[in-house]
Structure 1
Amino acid sequence: GIADGIPNVQKKALSAVNTLLLELKTGKIDAIIMEKPVAKSYVQSNDDLMLVEDIEFFDESGGSAIAMQEGADELTEQVNIVLKDIKEKGLMDQWVIEANDIVNNAETKSYNHLFLQGLKNTLLLSGLALLIGLFLGLLLTTMRRSEITIISFIAKAIVELLRGTPLMLQILIVYYGLDILGLNLSAFMASLIAVSLNSSAYVSEIVRSGIESIDKGQMEAGRSLGLSKKQTMSKIIMPQAIRNILPALGNEFITLIKETSIASTIGVAELMYQTSKIQSLTFEAMKPLLLVSLIYFALTFGLSLIMKKVERNLKYDY
């Protein structure tokens, strides 16, 4: 490739062009090798960048290519015809200019709707994940407290597995793994399943800690009054445990709001995904990041204040 022909070059690969652009602007890298039309768009929208065109390929890696399924000969032929026509007519350069005009048009400079859509999806994903995680967490806690050894062991193993692996890995396994099994879920549904499962492990620990915070003598007192173990748990222990764990559940919701940003890796249009989209539209790397950081801070700080007030009220009620 081009980079391999540069003496003493140190290559750095990143997953997004926006990240490369930010590193170039901040002086962390000296140059970016990318497709010529894309490079032209960035240069036309950034006065502090320049395009170096007089570079010879050191192999035959240049040109345009589109990946298709093996055996799609007819489609391949049609695509090659279209690519040849685009190249001969110089349409690519024309499209770059038109695209930049659209981006720079005053009517398209407001991206509030993208941030609002991202905010809605972030809150929806984290809120649903907490509710489902709460249900599954209670189920796991019940299983862990079971007197049947195998059930208790399975629950403990699930909790440790979910807590011991990265959320991103879990999202990717659910998204691609279920597709292999024939379940073609949307990116949002796959993320919801993965985040809910991940949250259930932490909720299970929260609920377990809440139950263990109640004096053991209360279980004995309930049993001495003629209540069954199940009745004592549901009518005496759990109401007190729930009061104790509410602040922790609030903190779990705050954590989920931040962690759902990982769902952007598979295309869920939450805040970070929309931020990346705005970066691509505006060719601005830093401003969208600063704005989305303020949105995240407003969400988490506001919820923290609410949870502190709830916690104070609960202590006062006691």
Structure 2
Amino acid sequence: MKVAKWMCSKFICAGISALALVGCAGTRADGPSLQTVRVISLPGRPLPIVAAESQGIFAKYGVAVQFQSADSSDVLRVDLANGKADVAVAAVDNAVAMVETAGVDAIIVMGGERTVNELIVQSEIHSISELRGKTVIVDATNTAFALQLKKILLLNSLQAGRDYQIKPIGASPLRLAAMREHKEYAGTMLGPPASVLAKRDGFVSLGSTLKFIGPYQGSGSFVLRGWARAHADVLVRYLAAYLEAQRWILAPANKRKVIELLIKEAKLPPAAAEETYSLTTQGAGGYAEDARMDLDGFKNVLKLRAEIEGQWGGQPPTPDKYYDAEYYQQALTQKPPK
């Protein structure tokens, strides 16, 4: 399968193969003043990480990021749980899944993006009802955007296993590549730039998650609670650098530079990069101001998991079971070390 070389909604593609990881948090890198933070995400570096590196923001806060790419959220969760990474940047429902299905003491420490996913289908499909009897594809079957897909189809009286089949394929670049190569894969959830590229290829959007299920906290940063306690100083500095980079991305004066990053790093055509920038920096979705956690959107994440997966007997807990704002609040006022 030919894998696309671009970022999925939140990620600048750095290739599907994981980079080798060495060292751990607290290890000195590139001189005596930098501490390494190992970050894992789905294929490609998150755009704020690319921006922070290109603008020297991580170095300003005494941090060096060592990046690892995971083919799927299943791999990402396992690697974080096993200590192969320090911080995960992905859909925050993965942190909830780590706690509830794997018994791992993970916590969300920062928001990042509100989902701008769309239900993308093959060109001959023009309504959700036409997905009956078809196969749809997801990253993992029981987390995040797969739950969005199940909910959207359930709103149209289609139930997984009874009315359609669901197949795990992996992250967004893998799913788009699979839909290009296999017409029997009828649909999937995609965000920009995958959704942008898909529509340019002739695939059809049946609507956005905002339209179908309302606000939804998408990507965020999560860690193991024990690691956060043991490395609070470097975690706060990493978060401070990340949110400063996100502010840089959202500053209108930097629009051209951000689009150039998308073109260069994600190998996007200029028009697709422009549309991706617009979708992720303007409107109701995309990058959040100061990388804030959308608590209403996160409540919707928990509500969806309760309804679709039957978690907690159908009654979702409050967000503070999974989100610890302490480190983020410190990061908001953190100054670069002298």
TM-score greater than 0.5 by the shorter chain: no
* Bigger fraction of residues in strand: 2
Give the alignment's TM-score, normalised by structure 1. 0.25
Higher helix proportion (structure 1 or 2) = 1
Larger radius of gyration: 1
